[in-house]
Amino acid sequence: MATPFHFAAFALALATATIGLLGASRADAQDTAPTLYFSAIPDDDATKLMQRFSGVADYLEEQLGVPVEYVPVKDYAASVVAFRNDQIQLGWFGGLTGVQAQLAVPGSQAIAQGDEDMAFVSYFIANESTGLEKSDAFPMAAKGMSFTFGAQTSTSGRLFPDYYIRKETGEAPDEFFSKVGFSGDHAQTLRLVSTGAYQIGALNYTVYDDAVAQGLSEVETTRAIWQTPPYPDYNWTIRGDVDARYGEGFTEKVKAALIGMDDPDLLSSFPRKAFVETSNEAYVPIVETARELGLLD
C-alpha cells in the first residue's frame, strides 16, 4: 500500500527548512562581513571598561548584523591614533578627542551623544584637610595648593578646567597652584586627592557622583568644592568611509542603534540616561577652546 501524502506535514517541513536556510544565510553573511572595531577613551579602570564595552559590542553586533569587537587602548591619544589608522571605525570619545578624530579623518561624523553631554560639567574636588568648602564662586583660596588634572587631552579632566582656571584667576594653572600634575584618568584623580597626594583635582562630574552613590571610600576624605559652567563633551564618532565598506546607509544604521539603546544596564555603565543625535557642529566650542589653549593646530 502506498504511503499517504500528508501536505500539512510537507509544508511544515519545507517551512522549517526554509527558515533554517535563511538563518544559515544570515550567519554566513555575518561571518563574511568585515568586523566593525570600536574603542573608547580610557577614562576609567581598564577592567570596568572591558566589562562596559563587551556588552555594547554584543548589542551592536545584534543590531547591525556584522561582527563587532571592542578594542582597548592605553590612553586618550591612542584612541585617536587607532581611529586615524583605521584600527577602529567607531569611537566613544570625549569632546576634545572626538574633535581630534574628526579632524584626523576627513568626512568623519559625531553621530550620537549622551543626553547629558551638551551640558556637561567638571567638578573641582578637594581633600578635606584643605578646609575648602563648596561654593558657587571659584575657590581662590586654593592658590598655592597642589592640583592634578586627569588625562592631558581630557575634555572634562583638563581642557575646560584649564580654561576656567585661567579665566577665573588670570593666571596659568602652574602659576596659580604650587604643583600641577596629570593623573591619567578620572578615577585616579579621585584616588590621588583622597589620599592627599594632591590637594585639589578636576574630574568628570559623573565619576564623582557615581562614587558618592556607591559609597566608595575615596569620597569620605574628599568634597566637591566648585563646578565649571556647562560645555559639550562625550560623543560617538564614526569614520566617513564606513558606508563604502559596510554598505550604503550603514552610518545611519549605527546612529539608530546607538540612539535606540535602552537597556538600563548598558546605559548606566556609561553612565547616561540615553543617547541622542548630534553633529560635528555641536562641538565647535571644543575646537575654539582647544585652539585658544594651544591644544589644537
| pLDDT given at position 297 | 79
| pLDDT given at position 6 | 53
Q: Quick check: helix, strand or coil at residue 199?
A: coil
- Angle, CA 290 vertex, CA 287 and CA 291 arms, to 5°: 80
| pLDDT given at position 122 | 98
Q: Alpha helix (H) ranges present in the chain?
A: 7-32, 46-64, 76-84, 95-104, 160-169, 173-176, 186-195, 205-214, 242-246, 250-259, 264-268, 284-292
In a domain, 263, yes or no: yes
Residue 14 has a CB neighbour count (10 Å cut-off) of 10
| pLDDT given at position 52 | 83
Q: Is the domain of 126 the same as that of 62?
A: no
Q: Please report, for the domain that includes residue 137, its CATH number.
A: 3.40.190.10
Q: Is the domain of 220 the same as that of 236?
A: no
Q: Is the domain of 159 the same as that of 254?
A: no
Domain boundary among 227, 242, 271: 227
User: One digit per residue, pLDDT tens: the chain, 297 residues?
Assistant: 444 545 444 444 444 444 455 444 444 544 578 999 999 998 777 777 888 899 999 999 999 999 999 999 999 999 999 999 999 999 999 999 999 999 999 999 999 999 999 999 999 999 999 999 999 999 999 999 999 999 999 999 999 999 999 999 999 999 999 999 999 999 999 999 999 999 999 999 999 999 999 999 999 999 999 999 999 999 999 999 999 999 999 999 999 999 999 999 999 878 899 999 999 999 999 999 999 999 997
| pLDDT given at position 111 | 98
Q: Is the domain of 66 the same as that of 96?
A: yes
Q: Which three cell numbers stand for residue 271?
A: 553612565
| pLDDT given at position 24 | 47
Domains in the chain, number: 2
Is the Cβ–Cβ distance between 89 and 36 less than 8 Å?
A: yes
Q: Give the number of residues written for the chain.
A: 297
Largest Cα–Cα distance in the chain? Answer: 103
Is the Cβ–Cβ distance between 260 and 72 less than 8 Å?
A: no
The residue with cell 504511503 is 3
Q: Is the domain of 238 the same as that of 98?
A: yes
Give Cβ neighbours of residue 266 (< 8 Å, ≥ 6 apart): 55, 56, 59
Domain span at residue 211 reads: 122-227
Is the Cβ–Cβ distance between 290 and 96 less than 8 Å?
A: yes
Q: Is the domain of 113 the same as that of 246?
A: yes
In a domain, 96, yes or no: yes
| pLDDT given at position 91 | 97
Euclidean distance between CA atoms 123 and 134, whole angstroms: 10
Phi-psi region at 42: left, alpha or beta (left = phi > 0; alpha = psi -120 to 50): beta
Domain boundary among 227, 256, 277: 227
Beta-sheet strand order (sheet of 179-182): 179-182, 146-149, 200-204, 122-127, 222-227
In a domain, 8, yes or no: no
Phi-psi region at 239: left, alpha or beta (left = phi > 0; alpha = psi -120 to 50): beta
| pLDDT given at position 31 | 58
Euclidean distance between CA atoms 6 and 8, whole angstroms: 6
- What's the whole-model pTM score? 0.83
In a domain, 1, yes or no: no
The residue with cell 561571518 is 31
pLDDT tens digits, 91-148? 999 999 999 999 999 999 999 999 999 999 999 999 999 999 999 999 999 999 999 9
